[in-house]
Structure 1
């Protein structure tokens, strides 16, 4: 580096990426940088220059010299408040991220969904007294581990307890090896009431052994509630515990530099930095405006193919499916990212969006992703709840080449990372989506790319190994977590899934299709996303031969049968969406049953036709299903067509009646035909309609609908389609 600003950029690169030397031509992403670390770089360069540096500039110019030129214009612009410890008010508010954790906790204090568990096996000569003192040192060092959140007339507040108010027993509880897993699970799966209970718990178990010559074995289990910690916090927690134990085992107090700030200081700083929502020029107002526009009219739910209907309230029970991406495919994905000025995360995000679009049959794909929220250097060594969640929305059109989709994903992700200060919890309040205890708001699929150095625990005189606490809570329908293997030799992938919805075989199928998409885009980044083959070898032939064998059909099935089956299997799932209005399968079937009974009263039934003149709103599928449920065939009528064409169609098809709305009734040249208005069907029962209710039994060979083509002579030509053909 040859200029002061280049020196600052190089120094920040080295600090964040953990490299010794950085030259003026070195590229941030080539050195191992990624989307999430870019936010740290932007914050730290901004701190050095007393400015707010947009994260997008790192993607625009990633070399030291190029970025220095970009950020020079921001130097000295001010507007950045330093994070320092200062005076505290009598009532310390929660951080914005903590607020939602608090409300979720009070909704169900016994729930362990937001517990962060860990367990380690300690084999050898454990100094229990030193370990107890080390845990006490940890709690004394980090106020957040001794903070409770009582309710007050002004709302919940942070109440920091004195270190000696937090009891730390750690008397080893002796357990048999066969009972160890259950004992650990009991510790980490128990809930917290954060209004009165410190959200941090630690227990020590001594594992009984039949062989007196075996080395002594202990298991340390600890768990923190998400209101007090996040995944990144495991790094400073582990490091501080190791340093304290090493010192205490020597009979010394740990010599650690004091933390520059505590979490309470961060909470106050965050609110001051974000400003007031009543100020249109504040950071929080500007970012709220961005997210309102970006996520406007976002669908409430991604309709993935599930094995079971979504329950009215999620149980949060989950399981995981793991697989690996080999080193060659990993290298191909990295090279693809470099060629398109993107990151590995962006490539994986685009590929996952393609998978979800193909699985759901929709194009509007929202995926959540966590960001560390630790841009300021003062937060590096602090335990706390800093992580934020971003909603990445992508339009996946089947005819788009993958490289074009990747470019759009890059723009989306860079913009999102540049507006990552608004807490997700506040975003949910601002957008106010339809709330449901059955699903996560705004998105149901989470993508995580692990970029943290895994914490290691090395204690004197002990062999240390990790233990899976066997707690698989599912906050989302699906969570796809990728982590680079040591030496970047491949990726490990874990898919967490809600067992309310999915079987392992289904998730294994998802994983297989995801891998095929990744392989396809590495082979050809210009591939049209709708043409990417997601079927396994032989699967296409198997499906086509089964579905298209001569005479093959769904036995005994008619259109109203299959819709009624869905209404029975998943009555609360959304079936119809129009603007801000949605109908569940149960509501659709109930309304259609009323319409069917009104039509049956007019003589409609199998082999008769009902003309349907209803605009493309949520009432149209109700009308069509009502006709089918009555057993009749529907004839769609578009009232914008010339009257002469409509009169010909009505005369030629000879419907028994016309089904329409009050607004469109006068536009239909019905003549002497009876007219049924949808609103009048409310007077009929919504009980299920069967053959006993119809004028005749409904069979697969009966007509389902009649459609008119233009006809080769210019005269409309009617075509009848039976249920068997549709099925």
Structure 2
């Protein structure tokens, strides 16, 4: 929906709210909205930069956490590992990775402090920031350990570029490529353009030429400056930032400090961020039922899943006021589609289960809550925490402790000539939240539901695996019913 409104903005120069797509889902109905819509906001373009480029709102919190937790912390690492089977041109691969780092400024940016302690973006040339592709010989039994070690190694964001690469050479025809980004330089959406650019550059370098891709229309630093201009200042009562902060202040008033769940252990004074995963698969029949219910309710699959998760948490003892955190892509301008960077924002979706609603009534409540949240999605979560100023604790995440993610961003796909690619496990041992439910849809060529795959990530400070196994069983039972 965000991509459609971005395309409408670019093509027709009008600003269309996401709600319009839910309330008028046909082209004919949508045309009526467009004819009455406001003129589009300022276009995102490359601009002249100041000597010290500020961090985006989202980057500020990650920078602060990096300084607080220390450079050895890997909580916000994004690791990718690919098994490459076949004839690999190592020289071409290293050149391709260098090309990609040169293409995306976010991969060659550090975040030092100015004289007054304010962090800023310092963009380097590729020769200054790119340390090359590390190559290690590895026995097959060492691969998983080495990948885990690399995925778990933190970044010093003040002095170190937020990406590192390594090639594990198992034998002549078997290699494992590991790419680790810090979240400050990338997000889930970034994985698709990153993979595509690596593939394009590798194919070109293997053929002895440079990549012939189109230059990116903007870089992350341009987005940062545009974001500040677009949102305006809180001192201006008519600014977008002020209006949206007013909405969130009202919507999240008297939010529960934390959800009371059936923990296996008391919450420690300081979270260790250690985590584990429970994976599951749901069949096509359940998937189709969720899709049908969403369509009948004028809602999305995400909204049905949110209603299910909120119901589960409530029945586990969390009450009837359930805040659930969820990421939103944040790429509200078409110019950002192919840029590697940290655009994702986090929304706090407050789910009201008071009054014993039916499940369909709950979906209607969730729909209204979410559409209003999407209309106010530009306020950075980090700023919201500062404004609401909840009771701070090193033992829990502020404003919410349970998150929900529906992975429907473009899949990262990469094809390299002469090679067969397969994913290599980079199993995370970190948990940012008490519980985090991630689900991905699979569909057939004609769009029919094929099934859902999911992961329940949990904090081992609080939960045993057996407990979370039961949560999955209960959630499925709720959705089937």
- TM-score w.r.t. the length of structure 2 is 0.97
Distance 1:248 1:270 in 2: 36
Is the partner of 2:423 in helix, strand or coil?
A: strand
Pairwise CA distance, 1:86: 1.4
Q: Which has the larger radius of gyration?
A: 1
Pairwise CA distance, 1:363: 0.7
Task: Please say if residues 47 and 80 of structure 1, whose CA atoms lie closer than 8 Å, have aligned partners that are also in contact.
Answer: no
Distance 1:277 1:246 in 2: 48
Is the partner of 1:449 in helix, strand or coil?
A: strand
Task: Please say if residues 310 and 501 of structure 1, whose CA atoms lie closer than 8 Å, have aligned partners that are also in contact.
Answer: yes
Aligned to 1:114: 76
Pairwise CA distance, 1:486: 4.1
Please say which of residues 288-297 and 48-57 is displaced more in the overlay: 48-57
Residue from 207, 211, 219 that aligns with 1:250: 207
Greater relative contact order (Cα 8 A, min sep 6): structure 1 or 2?
2
Aligned to 1:159: 122
Aligned to 1:262: 219
Task: Please say if residues 145 and 200 of structure 1, whose CA atoms lie closer than 8 Å, have aligned partners that are also in contact.
Answer: yes
Task: Please say if residues 478 and 497 of structure 1, whose CA atoms lie closer than 8 Å, have aligned partners that are also in contact.
Answer: yes
Q: Which runs of 5+ in 1 are unaligned?
A: 1-37, 209-214, 521-727
Deviation track 1:573-615 (CA, whole Å, cap 9, x = no partner) reads xxxxxxxxxxxxxxxxxxxxxxxxxxxxxxxxxxxxxxxxxxx
Aligned to 1:713: none
Residue from 111, 118, 137 that aligns with 1:174: 137
Aligned to 1:100: 61
User: What are the residue-to-residue correspondences of 1:123-522 with 2, within 5 Å?
Assistant: 123-154=85-116, 155-208=118-171, 216-397=173-354, 399-487=356-444, 488-520=449-481
Distance 1:123 1:280 in 2: 59
Pairwise CA distance, 1:361: 4.4
Distance 2:14 2:62 in 1: 32
Q: Cα 1:389–1:361, aligned 2, differ >3 Å: closer, same or farther?
A: closer
Is the partner of 2:185 in helix, strand or coil?
A: coil
Deviation track 1:331-385 (CA, whole Å, cap 9, x = no partner) reads 1111111111111111111111111111124111000111001121100110000
Distance 1:217 1:95 in 2: 40
Is the partner of 1:202 in helix, strand or coil?
A: strand
Aligned to 2:15: 52
Task: Please say if residues 189 and 410 of structure 2, whose CA atoms lie closer than 8 Å, have aligned partners that are also in contact.
Answer: no
Q: Cα 1:361–1:380, aligned 2, differ >3 Å: closer, same or farther?
A: closer
Is the partner of 1:311 in helix, strand or coil?
A: coil
Deviation track 1:299-318 (CA, whole Å, cap 9, x = no partner) reads 11000110011111111111
Distance 1:171 1:404 in 2: 55
Distance 1:366 1:153 in 2: 39
Deviation track 1:508-544 (CA, whole Å, cap 9, x = no partner) reads 1111111111011xxxxxxxxxxxxxxxxxxxxxxxx
- TM-score w.r.t. the length of structure 1 is 0.64
Q: How many aligned residue pairs are there?
A: 475
Pairwise CA distance, 1:172: 2.2
Deviation track 1:200-253 (CA, whole Å, cap 9, x = no partner) reads 010111115xxxxxx521111110111111011000100000000000000010
